[in-house]
Structure 1
Amino acid sequence: MKQPAHLPGIQGSSIKIPFSFSFPWELTDEPQMRILWRWKHFHGEFIYNSSSGFIHEHFKDRFILNWTQPQTSGVLRILDLKEKDQTVYFCRIYLNTTEGMKIWQSIGGTHLTITHVVRTTIQTPSIITSAGLEDTESQRNPSLVNLGAMVRVVVTTVALITSAYALMIFLCWEQRPAP
């Protein structure tokens, strides 16, 4: 079982926890592979079951598992990250083999840390722009949040450079000798 040991997330955005697994056993004709997820600690509460469609109440409408049988890898996606989501997540696998039902789980899990981003505002003579990463209209699409943040950084940088050049030109103009 492979999962990243640590992942950072930003409150309000989404996170992808990739996982993969392999096994030495021969599968039956109907392996009935199931993926389950736990949180908080190794023997923690189940938060997802692929066979029943169970999703823990805390994750309702925020939990997507991108995996289909017989794949041996996938991605767990948690949308609209909340401060309470900061914990450890463990992937667990069930499958039927010619030796019977086999069950195994990640030992260390994935430690998810959530960062709260504070919205800041930078004012220049001609532009007022936000330099924070919050974007309430596109929280469910992190690529739009990243694109918006990138555009704000570029616009802010251009405004600051333009202001600096204008100040340099003004100072040079003031220091030139009178005719």
Structure 2
Amino acid sequence: MAWILLLLLSAACLQAGHSVGPNRERLLNVIQPINLSGVEGGSIEIPFSFYFPWELAEDPDMRILWRWKDFHGEFIYNSTPLFIHEHFKNRFTLNWTQPQTSRVLRILDLKKKDQTKYFCQFQLNSKRGMESLQSIVGTQLTITHGIRTTMQSSFIVTSAVTTSGLEDTGGLRKISLVNLGATIGVVVATAVLITPVCVLMVFLWRKQR
């Protein structure tokens, strides 16, 4: 009988633990997409939101920060005081004010080097003190080649074909001029040879008469 009670108690504890887990994750979490892709030279938006159970202090002093490359990577953005990494100068926009808990980070004029992971972190003052929470997985950003590169390649190929055609035409013109010169030469040579013969024949004809 005691064994049955122990089993029932264990099952009840496990069930309670599973039911509380998702709620705890919901109350303390930073949510952002796992994967995003953008076009080189274009822009990308990384949405984010965060949840916390703490009771805020009178002056929560909330701030948003972003890291890149890995979980402990270099900070590339800080909302207060405002800081933007040199690599992202004039390319970062984040219109956020406290106490908003969701917003969008926008990166403009994407470059190949931007292809990496991005981690959102928020900090605030609660009645317990300074609190901080950061996304664990982050967002993997993939950069692909833009349409402008393809158009440029097509233009280069077309130009090469056109140039090649002009070069061929010039060759044909050169051949035609050579043939014309040869023909004129033959005509002149023939005239030079035939003229004395004709004069001799006329002289003999007159002599016979």
- Out of 118, 128, 145, the residue aligned to residue 99 of structure 1 is 128
Q: How does 1:1-179 map to 2 (within 5 A)?
A: 1-117=30-146, 118-120=149-151
User: How many Å separate the matches in 2 of 1:97 and 1:53?
Assistant: 22
Deviations 1:121-172, CA, capped at 9 Å, x for gaps: 8x9xxxxxxxxxxxxxxxxxxxxxxxxxxxxxxxxxxxxxxxxxxxxxxxxx
Return the structure number with greater relative CO, CA threshold 8 A, min gap 6: 1
* Ranges in structure 2 where 5+ consecutive residues have no aligned partner: 1-29, 155-209
Shift of 1:66: 2.2
Is the partner of 2:47 in helix, strand or coil?
A: strand
User: How many Å separate the matches in 1 of 2:96 and 2:48?
Assistant: 10
Q: Higher helix fraction: Structure 1 or Structure 2?
A: 2
What amino acid is aligned across from residue 47 of structure 2 in structure 1? P
CA RMSD of aligned residues (A): 1.6
User: How many Å separate the matches in 2 of 1:10 and 1:54?
Assistant: 25
TM-score normalised over the length of structure 1 = 0.66
Q: Tell which structure's C-alpha radius of gyration is larger.
A: 2
Following TM superposition, where does structure 1 have runs of at least 4 consecutive aligned residues deviating by more than 3 angstroms?
none
Shift of 1:120: 3.6
Overall identity of the aligned pairs, in %: 67
TM-score normalised over the length of structure 2 = 0.57
* Ranges in structure 1 where 5+ consecutive residues have no aligned partner: 124-179
Deviations 1:108-129, CA, capped at 9 Å, x for gaps: 00000000123248x9xxxxxx
Deviations 1:17-76, CA, capped at 9 Å, x for gaps: 000001001001110000000000000000000001110000000001121110000111
Is the partner of 2:94 in helix, strand or coil?
A: strand
Is the partner of 2:113 in helix, strand or coil?
A: helix
User: How many Å separate the matches in 1 of 2:56 and 2:81?
Assistant: 21
User: How many Å separate the matches in 2 of 1:52 and 1:120?
Assistant: 42
Q: Higher strand fraction: Structure 1 or Structure 2?
A: 1
Deviations 1:78-125, CA, capped at 9 Å, x for gaps: 00000000000000110000111100100000000000123248x9xx
**Residues matched between the structures, number:** 123
